[in-house]
Amino acid sequence: MILPRRIYDLGLSHKAVAVYCYLANRADINGECYPSVRRIAEDLSIHKSTVYR
């Protein structure tokens, strides 16, 4: 998946962009995916509270 460069213009932290990319890359044809917060945190090596934020 190629993301528009506009994502970087939103002022999001690099970790927020990483979570967005994680979800976007795992979404199905309908744009849906349901990984747990724990799975996202483990896969990205970040804390669960960061994923929630």
Q: What are the φ/ψ torsions at residue 43 (nearest 5 degrees)?
A: -65, -35
Give me the number of domains the chain comprises. Answer: 1
What pLDDT, on the 0 to 100 scale, is given for residue 9? 85
> Which tokens is 38 given?
């724990």
Structural domain span for residue 20 = 5-52
Taking residues 34-43, report their average pLDDT. Answer: 97
Taking residues 31-38, report their average pLDDT. Answer: 95
7-31 pLDDT tens trace: 888 889 999 999 999 999 999 999 8
Q: Is the dihedral of CA 29, 31, 36, 38 positive or negative?
A: positive
* Chain centroid offset of residue 43 CA: 11
What pLDDT, on the 0 to 100 scale, is given for residue 6? 82
